[in-house]
Structure 1
Amino acid sequence: MIELKNEKVINFSLCFIYACLVLFFIAHLPLPFISVLAGLCLWNAVITSKNIVKPNAWLANILAAGALGLMIFTIGMSDTVILFVAMLLLSSLFKLLQAKNKKHYQVITTLTFFSLSSVYLFSQTIFTTAVVSFLYVLNFSVMGLLESKHNLKISAKQSSKLLLMALPLAVFLLLFLPKMPAFWQLPGPKLAKTGLSEQVDPFDIANLSNSDELVFRATFNNPPPATPYYWRAIIHDEFNGNAWLASDFLKYRNQQTNQNLISEKSILIANYSVIAEPATQKWLYGLTYSTSNSINVSANALGLLRKKSYQAKSLQYDVASYQFSVDSLNEFERNRYTFLSLKQNINTNKFALQLKEQVTNEQAFYDALLAYFVEQNFTYTLTPTPMSGDNTLDQFLFDNKRGFCGHYASAAAYIFRVAGIPARVVSGYLGGEYNSDNNTLTVRQYDAHAWVEVYLQNTGWTIFDATAVVAPERLNGSLSQNQELNDEFKNNLDFGLVSLSNFAAINWLRLELEQLDYQWSSWVLGFDQEKQNDFLKSIFGNKKSWMVPLVVLITAGLSFAIYFVYLNWPKAKPVKLPPIVKAYNEVFDWGNKNKITSADSLSPSQQLDHMAKQRPNASKELIEFKHLFENSRYANKPFTKERKTKAKDLIKLIKSSK
C-alpha cells in the first residue's frame, strides 16, 4: 500500500468541502438526515485530528445501512433528484470514513466533483458559482496532493493557474459553440420557490410574506407604466367554503391559445422581459392580458403565461401586455363566474343582497363595496387573527375587520357572486422593488398578492382590490418599501439582508449584490440559443452557418497547440537560495533604492561595511547583520529560527532608519 504523504491535509480538505455542501443542502434535505451528514463530517475531522483508527468495514456498513434507512424514511421515494443527491453525499462521506489508500481517495475526489455539480440543480446564482468554483479548485488541489509531495498551498496555486488558463477557452466555447439539447438529463428537483398554489386559502396566504426568496425580475424596454403592477399567475373560479380553487373549466381554458384574441384594437400597455427563477409549477407572470413569442412560453385564452416544459434553470422570456378587452361573456361563462356551490356565510349573503338593492348598476355596486371597506375602518395586516368554522367570511367582514390581501379578495369575490356579478380571484404578485439604473423590477416571495377581477357591463374585466383603499401605500413598490407595515414586515420576515435593510450600508450592499446577480442571470444564465443566434448574426451576418464552425475549430486547435508548446517549453530550474542570502538580497535592494552605490567587486561583507559608512544611523544594525551573515554563510553555523527572527528584526530597523 502506497503511503500518502499528505493524508491529514487531504482528509481535512475533503471534510471542509462536504461541510460546505451540508450547509448548502440544509434548505433542501430533512433536518434528521442533515444531522447524520454533519455528524459524519465531524467524525471524520476528529479521527483525522487525533489520529484515531478508522472504523472497520463491519461497523461502517451497519451504520451506512441505518443511515440509508433514515434517508428513505425522511425523504421518501417520490422526489428522485433529492434522493439521488442525498445518496451521493451519504456514500461519499462513508467512503471517506473508510479511506485508507490512494485508490480510495481517488474515488472520493471523483465523487466530490459530482456532489459539487449537484448544487447547480438547486441554485445557479453568482454567489453559488463563486463558492462552488472555490471548492472545485480545492478538490483539484486534493487530487494533486494524491500524486505529489507538495503542500496544499502549492497544489492550490497550480490548480488555480490551470483554471484561469481554461477560463478564456470556456467563455469562447459558451459564446460560439452551437447550443444543443442535452442527450440525457435528470428531472428537476421539486423546488416550490414561488409559494403559489392552485388553491388560495385567504387565511394561509399571509405566510408567504415570511420569505424573501427571489421569484422573478422584469426589465422594461421603455419607462414602466404607472403603478400598480398586478402580476397575474393563476386564476381561481371555484369556492369550496374556505378556499378558492382552479376548476376544470379554467384548466381547459388554460390550454387554449390567445394569439387569435389579440387584434388591432388591442391597446398595448408595455413590452418587457422577465427572468423567472426555477420552479416546478408551469405558470409564469405577466401584467393584465399577456402574450409572449418566446420559444419556451405559451399564452392562453385567459391572458396567462405558462412554460411549455419544465426547466431546471431560470427562464427568460419576452412579454407584451394589453388592456383587457370589453368583449361580452357568453351565458356559460357568466354562469361559471357567478356560481357558488355553498352559501354558508349568512350575514355576508344578506349584506351582498342589501347592497345590491341600494345601487342601480354594477359600477355603483363596485364603488359601494370599496366605500364599505373604508367606512368600516378595515385594516391591512401581515399577522391576521386565525379563524375557523364554516362562516369565516362573516367573521372577517363583521367581527375582526383586519386581514391580509387574501381575506379581502375572498370576501369581495364572494359578495360579487352573491349579487350576480361575475368575479374571480387572481393570485400572483403586486409591485416590486424598482431599480432605475437598469429599469428593472425585482419581485420576491413577500410580494405575493391576491385580488379580484370583476366583469362590469361595457367595461369588461376590471381589477377590484380593497388594498387600494385599506392600505393604499401597498400599491406602490414592494411590500418591503411599505413604511406603515415596516416594523411588522421586518419582524415577520425570515433572517436575511432584507430584514436588515433599515441599516443604510447593508441596504446599499443588498442592492449592489442584486444588481450583480441580475447581470449574471441576464447575460450568463440567460444566454440561450435565441441570444446566441442574435450574437453570432451580429458578428458573421448571413455567413454564420459555415463561419462559426470554422472559427471554433481554428480557435480550439490553436489553444491546444499553444498549451502543448507551453507544457513542453524548456524551463530554467529556479535556484533555491539559502534564507540568509535572501535576507542579504533584501538589504542590498534597500541600499540600491536609497542610492548607496558601491563597486560590484566588493564582497557581501564589504558591501555591508560600505553601507554602514554611508548610513551612520543604521551602521549598528548593518554591522550586526554582517556578523550574522558571516556566521551563517562562512562559519557554517545553522541559521536557526532565533537567528532568522533576529535577521528580520534587523532588516526592519535598517529600513526604518533615515
Structure 2
Amino acid sequence: MKLPPRPLAHEEHGLLLGQLALVLAPQARSLPVAISVLLVLLMGWRWLLWRQRAPLPSRLMLGLIAGLVLLVAVALVWQAGGNMGRDLSVALLGAFVVLKLLECRVLADATLVTQLCFYLLLSLYLFDQPFWLALYSLAMAAWLLRNWLFLGHPEARGHLAVWPLLGRLTLTGLPWALLLFVLFPRLDRPLWQLPQAETVAATGISDTMNPGSVSQLAQSTEVALRADVEGGPLPAGALYWRALVLWQFDGQTWRPATLRQRQAIPAPALPAADDTAAYGAGQPGTTAGMPLASGTVNYSVTLEPSQHPWLFLLDRGQAIAPGAGAVVNADGEFFAREPVERRLRYRARSAPAAAQPLDLQTRQLALALPAGNPRSRALAAAWAERYPDPAERARAALRLFAAAPFSYTLSPAPLGREQIDSFLFDTRRGFCEHYASSFVFLMRAAGVPARVVTGYLGGEYNPIGGNYIVRQADAHAWAEIWLEGRGWVRVDPTSAVAPSRVERGIDAALAASEIAALRAMREPGWLQDLRWGMDGAVYTWQRWVLQYDRGQQARLMRQLGIGDSLPQTLLAGLAMLSLLALLPLALKRRRADPVQAMYERFCRRLARHGCVRAPSEGPQDYAARAARTLPAAADTVRDFSERYIKLRYSRLPPALRATELAGLRQALRRLARLPPAG
C-alpha cells in the first residue's frame, strides 16, 4: 500500500524560505535588475504567506506568474540581440526555483527545492570565484545537507548531533580533496566558453592616446595587475609597466603602427624555474632570491581581465614564461594570442635593452609629424640649431617644463585646434598624456627620433602580501628617444613638472580633491593594514588556488624535490587515496550509545561492591537484586534503573530526553560516592 505524501510543517516552510533566500542573495551581484526585482517581490510575497499562515497560491496564479517571468526573459533576450547568455539563464533558474517554492506543500517538493538550491549555489562560480565565496558556499552546502536530513528524518533532531557528523565527514574528505587538487590542476583553457548576455566592456589602457584618455583612468581604484618582484621592492623609478608604443600622430590622437605590431614572433621563453627561486641560478654573479646582475629583474604578474591582448612587463621585457603563449615585436610589445578575458598569470624577465642601429624606415616613422603647430616647430628648430647633441635637445625640453608655469592636473583647460601649441604656449595645464605628446612632437620637430609609450607607473607595495598592487589610477604615458650608441632611451617629461609622480605615486602629485577615492585608500593607519591583509589573502587565493595550473604544479613539484617524475607521483597519489579510503574502515569503532555506556559503568560499579550482573539478567531484575544487596544505595540504584529503562525503551521528546540524561548522570555520580565493599 502506497503511503500518502507527508505534508510539510510550518517551521519546515520557513526553513526552505530562509535557505533559498541565502542562496539567492549573492546572485544579486550579476542578475539582471528586472529579474532581481521580480525575485525580491516573489520572495517577499512567499514570506508574507508564511508569516500569516495563509494558503499557497493556486496553480492558475502560479501559471500567470510564470508567464510574466517568461515575458521579462524574452524582453531581456531581445534587448541582448537574441542571446540568452549566462546571466539570464541563471536568473531564470532562480526565478523558477522561487515559483517551485510557492507550490511546495509536501516532502517531495521540499526535496526538489533543496536539490535545486545546490545548483544555484554552484552557478555562483560561473561569474567569479573570490575566496569568500568558497567559504560561503561551503557553509551553505553544510546547512543545506543538514536541512535535507531533517526534512527526510524529522525524528533525527533529538537523536543525532548533525554538526559533529558533518565535521567528521569534512575532515574525512579533506585529505582526498587536497591530494586531488595537487595532482590534477586546472586546465590551461576551459572546455567550453559560456555565452555572455552582453559584451564585456574593455578596461584599462587603450591602443590610442589623446588628451584625457589617460587622465580618465586616474579616478579608478580598480586593480589592473598584481606583481611579485624577486628580491623585494624596487626603486620607484624602475616601476614602468610597459604596454604599447605609439608612433603615428594626426594632430589629435596617437596610434600604434599596425604593421609593426603584426611583425611579431614568439616571445623568448623563460627557463622552467620556480618563480620564488632565482631564475638566474647558476649564472655568474647571481644569488638565489636576489635580482640578477646588470639590472635584470625577474617577477610574476597576475593580470586582471581587460579584453585586450597586450601584456604588461617591466621596461624592458626580455622573456616570458612559455605558458603565456605570448608574441613580441621589435618595439618590445608583448601580446597574448587572444584578448585577456580571464585572470592571467605569467612570469617574466626584464633587463636593459642593448643598443641597436635604427633602420631608415623606423627613423622616418619616428620623425613623422602632421602639419600645423608652427610655434612648437619654431622652438624645436631653435634647439636643433643651438644644440648639436640630441640628448641636449631633450634636456632643453625638460628644462622648459620645469621652468615655465606648467602644472600637473586632471582638469586641464580645453585645447585649441593646434593642440601642441595650445598646450605649450597657452594653457600649460595637463596630465601625463599632454606632456608625453608635446615632448615627442618637440623632439621629432628638432630632428630627434621619438615615440610615445603607454602603460602604468608605480604601484602600491603591500608589505603583508609582499607584492605590488597596480591600479588603473596608475596609468601613465612617457616618451622614448633614440640616441646614437644608446638606442631607445626612456624620458618621462612628467617628472620635470611633477617629480613626485615618479617618486611617490600619482596621489602625491595631485591635489586631494582630484583623487579623493585613491587618497582615502592610501591613508596610513589600521584600515590600511586591514586592507593590505585582505588584499594579501585575495592574492594568495588567486595565486595558489584559482591559478593552480600545470605550470604551477610543475613549480610546486620542483620545490618538493619531485622534479619531472609526475607519473610516479600520480601513481603514489592514487595509492595514497586508496589507503585513505581504507583508513576509515580500519579505524572505525562503533560509538557506544551514551545511555548504554552509562549503564555499563553502572554495572561495573555495582560489581565492585559484590553485586555482579548475570548475563541473562534484565535491568529491572538486576536493580531489584542490587537494592536488596546494597540497602544504602537502594534509592540511587532504583532511580538510575528507572531512568535507564525510560531512555532505552521509550521514545521521549527531545526536552524530556535531555532531562532524563542529566538525571542519569547525577545518579551515576551519587553511586560513585558509595563506600567500597569491605
So what's the TM-score if we normalise by structure 1? 0.75
Q: In structure 2, what is the equivalent of residue 467 of structure 1?
A: 494
Structure 2: 5+ residue runs without aligned partners? 270-282, 284-292, 598-630, 637-652, 663-678
Match of 2:207 in 1: 198
Once the two structures are TM-superposed, the CA of residue 117 in structure 1 deviates from its matched residue by 3.4
Find the aligned partners of 1:539 and 1:360 in 2 and give their Cα distance: 60
For 1:20-419, what aligned pairs fall within 5 Å after superposition? 20-22=26-28, 24-25=29-30, 31-32=33-34, 34-52=36-54, 53-54=56-57, 56-73=61-78, 75-76=80-81, 80-97=85-102, 99-149=104-154, 158-159=165-166, 161-177=168-184, 184-187=191-194, 194-228=203-237, 229-253=239-263, 255-257=264-266, 259=268, 268-290=295-317, 291-301=319-329, 302-308=331-337, 314-340=343-369, 342-343=370-371, 345=373, 347-381=375-409, 383-385=410-412, 387=414, 390-419=417-446
1:281 partner amino acid: H
SS in structure 1 of the partner of residue 531 of structure 2: helix
Looking at structure 1, the residues matched to 251 and 89 of structure 2 have their Cα atoms a distance apart, in angstroms, of: 41
Structure 1 residue 7 and structure 2 residue 13: aligned?
yes
After superposition, the C-alpha distances for 1:15-53 in whole angstroms (9 at most, x for unaligned) are 12212221x32xxx5555544454444444444444453
Q: Return closer, same or farther for 1:576/1:101 CA change in 2, 3 Å cut-off.
A: farther
Question: Would the alpha carbon gap of residues 247 and 105 (structure 1) be closer, same or farther in structure 2, given more than 3 Å must change?
Answer: farther
Larger radius of gyration: 2
Q: 2:24 aligns with which of 18, 25, 32?
A: 18
The secondary structure found in structure 1 opposite 2:353 is: coil
Return the alpha-carbon distance in structure 2 between the equivalents of residues 361 and 223 of structure 1.
Answer: 38
User: Percent identity between the aligned chains?
Assistant: 25
Aligned pair partner of 1:505 in 505, 526, 534: 526
Give the match for residue 571 of structure 1: 591
Would the aligned equivalents of 1:121 and 1:312 in 2 still touch at CA under 8 Å? no
One-letter amino acid of the counterpart of residue 131, structure 2: I
Alpha-carbon distance, 1:62 to partner: 2.4
Distance 1:137 1:311 in 2: 35
Q: Distance in 2 between the 1:545 and 1:157 partners?
A: 37
SS of 2:544 mapped into structure 1: helix
Q: Mean alpha-carbon deviation: is it higher for 219-228 or for 71-80? A: 71-80
Structure 2 partner of 1:593: none
Letter in 1 for 2:128: S
* One-letter amino acid of the structure 2 residue matched with residue 218 of structure 1: A
* Closer/same/farther in 2, CA of residues 469 and 543 from structure 1, 3 Å limit: closer
Q: Deviations over 1:129-186 (max 9, x none)?
A: 3333333334444444443326799766654553343222211111234665678232
Partner-residue secondary structure (3-state), 2:8: coil
By how many angstroms is 1:360 displaced?
2.8
CA contact (8 A) 1:216 1:442 kept: yes
What residue in structure 1 maps to residue 647 of structure 2? none
**Shift in alpha-carbon separation, 1:396–1:536, aligned structure 2, 3 A:** same
Q: For 1:230 and 1:42, how far apart are their aligned partners in 2?
A: 53
Partner of 2:571: 550
CA contact (8 A) 1:19 1:38 kept: no
Deviation, structure 1 residue 459: 2.5
Cα pair distance change 1:172/1:203, threshold 3 Å: same
Q: Deviations over 1:322-373 (max 9, x none)?
A: 2133212211112223334x44555544544455444333212211111111
Displacement of 1:424 in angstroms is 2.5
Structure 1 match to 2:536: 515
Distance 1:600 1:271 in 2: 84
**Deviation of 1:468 (Å):** 0.8
1:372/1:39 Cα in 2 relative to 1: closer, same or farther (>3 Å)?
farther
Letter in 2 for 1:294: P
Opposite residue 14 of structure 2, the aligned amino acid is K
**Unaligned 5+ residue runs, structure 1?**
578-598, 605-637, 648-658
Q: Distance in 2 between matches of 1:485 and 1:9?
A: 54
Matched residues in 2 for 1:109 and 1:57: separation? 20
* SS across alignment from 1:417: helix
**Alpha-carbon distance in 2 for matches of 1:87, 1:457:** 65
Work out the CA distance in 1 between the residues paired with 2:367 and 2:115.
61
Q: CA deviation at 1:602?
A: 9.5
| Closer, same or farther: CA 571–453 of 1 in aligned 2, 3 Å | same
Report if the CA contact (8 A) 1:409-1:451 is conserved.
yes
Superimposed CA distance per residue, residues 602-645 of structure 1 (whole angstroms, 9 cap, x where no aligned partner): 978xxxxxxxxxxxxxxxxxxxxxxxxxxxxxxxxx9999xx9x
**TM-superposition CA deviations, 1:496-554 (whole Å, max 9, x none):** xx735436111111112222233333333343212323433555747835532332222
Distance 1:335 1:313, change over 3 A: same
Q: Give the secondary-structure state (helix, strand or coil) at the position aligned to 1:283.
A: coil
Counterpart-to-counterpart distance in 1, 2:81 and 2:35: 12
Q: 1:410 to 1:484 in 2, by over 3 A?
A: closer
Sort the Cα spacing of 1:139 and 1:283 in 2 relative to 1 into closer, same or farther, 3 A.
Answer: farther
Report how far residue 486 of structure 1 moved: 6.3
The change in CA–CA distance for 1:509 and 1:570 in structure 2 (over 3 A counts) is: same
User: Hey, what's the Cα distance between the residues in 1 that align with 2:297 and 2:564?
Assistant: 35
- Whole-angstrom distance in 1 between the partners of 2:596 and 2:422: 85
**Cross-structure match for 1:596:** none
CA contact (8 A) 2:62 2:99 kept: no
Seen in structure 2, the aligned counterparts of structure 1 residues 249 and 565 have a Cα distance that, compared at 3 Å, is: same
**What TM-score, normalized by structure 2, do the two folds share?**
0.73
Contact 1:236 1:425 survives alignment (8 Å): yes
* Deviation (angstroms), 1:97: 4.8
Matched residue SS, 2:218: helix
Question: What is the alpha-carbon distance in structure 2 between the residues aligned to residue 454 and residue 79 of structure 1?
Answer: 51
Provide the residue aligned with 2:516 in structure 1: 491
- What SS does the aligned partner of 1:461 have? strand
Q: How many residues align?
A: 573
- Note if contact 2:301-2:345 (Cα within 8 Å) is conserved in structure 1: yes
What secondary structure does 1:295 align onto?
A: helix
- SS at 2:193 equivalent: coil
Between the aligned partners of 2:406 and 2:510, the Cα distance in structure 1 is: 15
Q: Which moved more, 1:537-546 or 1:229-238?
A: 537-546
- Residue 625 of structure 1 is matched in structure 2 by none
Task: Label 1:424 to 1:151 Cα distance change in 2 as closer, same or farther (>3 A).
Answer: farther
Specify whether residues 360 and 195 from structure 1 end up closer, same or farther in structure 2 by C-alpha distance, changes over 3 A only.
Answer: same
CA contact (8 A) 1:64 1:94 kept: no
> Quick one: which amino acid aligns to residue 529 of structure 2?
W
1:421: which partner in 2? 448
Distance 2:389 2:582 in 1: 81
The separation in 2 between residues aligned to 1:256 and 1:79, in whole angstroms, is: 39
2 CA distance for matches of 1:95 and 1:240? Answer: 61
